[in-house]
């Protein structure tokens, strides 16, 4: 039985929440391995709707262990709030089903304020961040001045760590003409939330190794999408962490041999939130139609998503950079009723056709999509649970996508309902 990594194969918002929830029923342990509370998942289970942004999707399922790995930057106040909200919805959460890595770096008010200040500034390049402090927290982790969850359990050593943190941040704030943060305020910010989050603290790398050795099925849940990866995405319009599948090993503490199958999630079209290149973007009536039908608004921010045709060049690229074994194709039903559907098969750059997205920011801004026109379908795919339920032309569309991206479609999702899923290959049994 394979341990499975789920990653977004586009720019995020591909519907990972539903698929992770669907897969988590077969898993024993669900692990978040990167990002923070800047990427939301909406889970629809029966009559209940759960909106998560930090907790692993498996937390709403009974008898599953949810784990937040050290690759995540943790806002302790948001964690406490999200736990409280779910408990209010009738989801029991305790140390029995939630553990958090003791070495996870924390997001503090200094990070949130700096993130918002940078993003709101007219100077430089606007990235389109959620202003939740994710980037500055990762900067402090790399700069070796982060305060980590374990530090809350050792308050006697906290003052020196706060001083080291503020020696950096207050220098920045003086340069920006802002008042300095006081160490006492940061200490109070941390101590006030410590009792709410420390009960979940654990040595996660050891815990997961024990789970693996015991033959437990582990599901690794990524946030955002591979095209937002700090190394392999559309830099600088990316997130501050690695979002490709390889990060599952680093961000959890398990070695890469623990990963058996990589499932990429891709919409049957393409969306993007925030700034940055988007070769197949449709800034027209068709794009608006896709956005309205697909309810393309961010779970965390409420921002309207940019919409466009499926870009096989990008997904083919993420199949390679993440080592994707199979694709879960979501929101196929949103394309119902289109007479024709365009699929980007190559790019044109300065008069030459190319088969990948170049790394250069200026080149990314200049690429033009080369489309292949595919006949649409008039029948409905909404709620389909088998190939027999799909119009013949919808099946042809899926098969053509497989050919273009160089990976099989393992699942097809045809509505937000977790049961409306066509299973071609079970990743846990591949």
**Chain segment 90-124, per-residue pLDDT in tens:** 999 999 999 999 999 999 999 999 988 887 765 55
pLDDT at 416: 83
Q: What angle do CA 229, 259, 137 make, to 5 degrees?
A: 35
Q: For 31-62, how does the pLDDT look when each residue is reduced to its tens digit (9 = 90+)?
A: 999 999 977 777 777 788 888 899 998 898 88
Mean pLDDT, residues 158-167 taken together: 97
What is the DSSP secondary structure assignment for residue 395, as one 8-state letter? H
The answer to whether residue 301 scores a pLDDT higher than 80 is no
**Out of 80-89, 127-136, 213-222, 419-428, least confident range:** 127-136
Band of the pLDDT at 2, cuts 50, 70, 90?
Answer: confident
Distance in angstroms (rounded) separating the CA atoms of residues 224 and 241: 10
Tokens encoding 30: 């669900």
Q: For 307-321, how does the pLDDT look when each residue is reduced to its tens digit (9 = 90+)?
A: 999 999 999 999 999
pLDDT at 131: 80
Whether residue 423 contacts residue 430, with contact meaning beta carbons closer than 8 Å, is answered with no
Q: Point out the residues that are catalytic.
A: 13, 41
Band of the pLDDT at 127, cuts 50, 70, 90?
Answer: low
Q: How many CB atoms lie within 10 A of CB 378?
A: 10
Q: Which of 31, 42, 21 is nearest to 100 (CA)?
A: 31
Band of the pLDDT at 125, cuts 50, 70, 90?
Answer: low
Contacts of 81 (CB under 8 A, 6+ apart): none
Q: Which of 252, 268, 154, 152 is nearest to 210 (CA)?
A: 252
């Amino acid at each position: 039985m394979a341990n499975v990594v789920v990653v977004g194969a586009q720019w995020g918002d591909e519907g990972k929440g539903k698929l992770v929830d669907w897969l988590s029923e077969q898993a024993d342990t669900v692990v978040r391995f990167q990002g923070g509370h800047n990427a939301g998942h909406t889970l629809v289970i029966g009559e209940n709707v759960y909106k998560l942004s930090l907790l692993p999707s498996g937390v709403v399922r009974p008898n599953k262990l949810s784990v937040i790995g050290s690759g995540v930057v943790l806002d302790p106040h948001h964690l406490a709030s999200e736990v409280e909200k779910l408990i209010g919805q009738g989801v029991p959460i305790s140390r029995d089903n939630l553990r958090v890595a003791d070495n996870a770096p924390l997001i503090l008010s200094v990070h949130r304020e700096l993130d918002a200040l940078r993003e709101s500034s007219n100077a430089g390049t606007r990235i389109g961040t959620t202003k939740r402090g994710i980037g500055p927290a990762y900067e402090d982790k790399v700069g070796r001045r982060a305060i980590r969850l374990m530090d809350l359990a050792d308050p006697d050593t906290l003052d020196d760590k706060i001083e080291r943190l503020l020696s950096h941040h207050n220098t920045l704030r003086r340069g920006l003409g802002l008042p300095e943060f006081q160490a006492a305020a940061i200490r109070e910010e941390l101590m006030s939330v410590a009792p709410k989050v420390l009960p979940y603290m654990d040595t996660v790398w050891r815990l997961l190794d024990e789970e693996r050795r015991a033959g437990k099925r582990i599901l690794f849940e990524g946030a955002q999408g591979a095209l937002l990866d700090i190394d392999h995405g559309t830099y600088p319009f990316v997130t501050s962490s690695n979002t490709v599948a390889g990060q599952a090993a680093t961000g959890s503490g398990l070695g890469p041999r623990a990963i058996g199958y990589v499932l990429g999630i891709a919409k049957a079209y393409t969306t993007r939130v925030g700034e940055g290149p988007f070769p197949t973007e449709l800034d027209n009536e068709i794009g608006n139609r896709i956005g309205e039908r697909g309810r393309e608004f961010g779970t965390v921010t409420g921002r309207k998503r940019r919409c466009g045709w499926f870009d096989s060049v990008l997904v083919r690229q993420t199949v390679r950079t993440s080592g994707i074994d199979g694709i879960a194709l979501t929101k196929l039903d949103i394309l119902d009723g289109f007479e024709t559907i365009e699929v980007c098969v190559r790019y044109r750059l300065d008069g030459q056709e190319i088969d990948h997205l170049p790394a250069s920011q200026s080149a990314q801004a200049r690429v033009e999509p080369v489309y292949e026109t595919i006949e649409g379908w008039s029948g409905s795919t909404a709620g389909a649970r088998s190939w027999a339920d799909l119009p013949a032309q919808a099946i042809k569309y899926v098969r053509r996508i497989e050919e273009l991206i160089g990976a099989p479609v393992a699942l097809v999702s045809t509505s937000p309902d977790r049961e409306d899923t066509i299973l071609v290959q079970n990743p846990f049994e591949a």
